[in-house]
Structure 1
Amino acid sequence: MHVALALMLFFLVNWIGKHAIEFGYVSTSLFEEPNESVALNFFIRALSPAVFIILVSSAAVAVSRPELRLGIINVVPYYYVLRAVIIFLFNRHRLISWPGYIFHSLFGIALATLAYIYLILPNRSLIPDLETAGNELWLALLAFLYAVANKITLSGGPGARRRNIFVNSHYVAARARFGEKIDSKVSDELLKLVAYSVLVYEDYCRPPAIRTLERLAVWKKRRTTGIMQVAADEVLTDEESVNRGLDILLDSWEKYSSEEHLWSRVRLSISDYNKDEDYIQRVHEVMEILAKRVDPSFRAAYDSIWN
């Protein structure tokens, strides 16, 4: 049961974080880079587990099942271990500040332990008592301190550096595995930049563990498989998907050769690969990172888009 509760907490925190990005929450996404709110990130990452087990224990006492609260502290370390495992499973570990993760985990476990000992284990209702409303002044004070701390933001921090490292590592790996094939099929440097950007972004969206699961989905007659996520009736290896993906890009590049503006040609070629507007924008962002911060040899090709 505690593992199931840890999984529930994981999805709940992710849902909260997804809706708090615009307020300064920093996710493990490759692209979102808000002004980091110190208080908000600390609250969501370190305090959420304690709040969660208190709420669950309150519900257990309220429905006359107080025994369910016993051992609920196990949910918290399970949650942090589960989150770390999923980060590695989805190949996001280079996007994480691990010292920060360890700090939030240890603080969260310590806080939850205190809550468990002093609030949860005593067999009493955890629902607030209006007769002791004077004690709620402390809650008002904490709310005030949170509001003040939430004004402290960190912009241009290490998140951008971790993002560049992530793109660089995936690009280097792609170049080592598929560089010879890409160089032999693609001569245009701008198209080559597009191809690497699509490859890196698809690898980000579908890390190796997920691609393995996709190959096992034998009940689907047609599906996207391989590192470049090419649709086919049969399962594709990474090498086969790169070969077919390059053919798709080459055909599109030739089809739009008459476009007056290079950016239009690039955009339409990516659109043929995936028509989603967000996808096109993300691939372009990877192109910019590659050209400006990872491989300067692409800089001239990238700059030519805007000339």
Structure 2
Amino acid sequence: MGRLLLLNWYKQILYWIAIISLSYVLYINIIQHKKNILPDLSTLSNELWVVILVFMYQVMNNLDFSSTKAAERREKYISKNFKILKKKYGSLIHNLTNNEMLDTVVYAILIYEDFNRPRIVRWIEYFTFFLTTKSKTLGIMQFKTDRYIGDKESVLLGTQKILDKYQSLKQSPDWTYYENDYQVARDIIQDYNGGESYSSEVMNLMYTIQSQSYPNLVDELLT
């Protein structure tokens, strides 16, 4: 799924140890010998270990790990994926946009769509597309189409759609009402895939990409 960097491995290992240990003990003491699952009241004091193990698992399941670590994993995930995507599609994207601010909008959408539609899910989408041949969002940038497109073409078409929306905004009478670049970016993102939640999450990704990889950003959208 491409999400290894987002996992809290310390918590996952605790889960594995607890689940495997409890499963093993239950198998050895109950399932293997086909004992009655209900405890024998005469030996109840000797079977309190079951209650203790369940309690320990519940405690670990409710552990509240630091949100700082989660934020660090998120930033590392974004940074790594940005570098991979820029290496693959950087020249294609920038040759179309010729604007680094607009590039960050494209990368934010790319990372968001890739997260929600990882490679294995996109394979399933291709499979269903070939079966039904109905119009469908395909490729890493989830561009809606009625014909087969690969990841690279989806980036090309998706970036062109973003650029077309940006240019149409500049030519519209409402252009004078925009106060900053982020209002422009928000409307471009909403046009790509409607919804307040979508635009908010992609905007947050865009801010992170800018702070990580474009600290000296000079290009503007509102020009």
TM-score by length of 1: 0.59
CA-CA distance at 1:105 after TM superposition: 1.7
Pair 1:142–1:243, CA change in 2 (3 A): closer
Give 3-state SS (helix, strand or coil) of 1:231's partner: strand
Aligned to 2:178: 260
1:149 to 1:202, Cα distance in 2 relative to 1, 3 A: closer
| Matching residue of 1:250 | 163
Deviation at 1:160, TM superposition (A): 1.7
- Greater shift, 256-265 or 246-255, is seen at 256-265
| Cα distance, 1:300–1:149 mapped onto 2, change above 3 Å | farther
Q: What's the offset of the Cα at 1:244?
A: 0.8
> Deviation per CA, 1:162-189, whole angstroms, max 9, x where unpaired?
2111111111111111111111111233
1:286 aligns with 2:191: no
Change (3 A) 1:204 1:216: same
Question: Does the 8 A contact of 1:271 with 1:280 survive in 2?
Answer: yes
Task: Confirm or deny: 8 A CA contact 2:18 2:57 kept in the other structure.
Answer: no
Amino acid at match of 2:161: I
> Residue 122 of structure 2 contacts residue 139 of structure 2 at CA under 8 Å; is this kept in 1?
yes
Segments of 4+ in structure 1 off by > 6 A? 136-152
Query: Superposition pairs for residues 9-24 of structure 1, below 5 Å?
Result: none
2:162 and 2:192 in contact (8 A); partners too:
yes
Identity of aligned residues (%): 28
Q: Does 1:295 align with 2:213?
A: yes
The yes-or-no answer on 1:231 pairing with 2:150 is no
Task: Report if aligned partners of 1:91, 1:204 keep a CA contact under 8 Å in 2.
Answer: yes
Flag the 1:113–1:268 CA change in 2: closer, same or farther, 3 A.
Answer: same
Q: Is the 8 A contact 1:95 1:162 kept in 2?
A: yes
Q: What secondary structure is seen at the aligned counterpart in 1 of 2:210?
A: helix
Q: Any idea what the Cα deviations from partners look like across 1:26-80, whole Å, max 9, x if unmatched?
A: xxxxxxxxxxxxxxxxxxxxxxxxxxxxxxxxxxxxxxxxxxxxxxxxxxxxxxx
Deviation at 1:146, TM superposition (A): 8.4
In the superposition, relative to structure 1, how do residues 228 and 144 fare at CA in structure 2: closer, same or farther (>3 Å)?
A: closer
Q: CA deviation at 1:296?
A: 3.3
Matched with 1:186 is 97
Larger RCO (CA under 8 A, 6+ residues apart):
2
* Counterparts of residues 1-307 of structure 1 (less than 5 Å): 90-127=1-38, 153-217=64-128, 218=130, 219-257=132-170, 258=175, 259-262=177-180, 263-292=182-211, 294-297=212-215
Gaps of 5+ in 2: none
State the distance in 1 between where 2:13 and 2:59 align. 25
Aligned residue pairs total 213
Check the 8 A contact 1:189/1:298 in 2, yes or no. no
Distance 1:173 1:148 in 2: 39
- Contact 1:119/1:126 (<8 A) preserved: yes
The 1:138–1:290 alpha-carbon spacing in structure 2 relative to 1, beyond 3 Å, is same
> What is the root-mean-square deviation in Å for CA atoms of aligned residues?
3.3
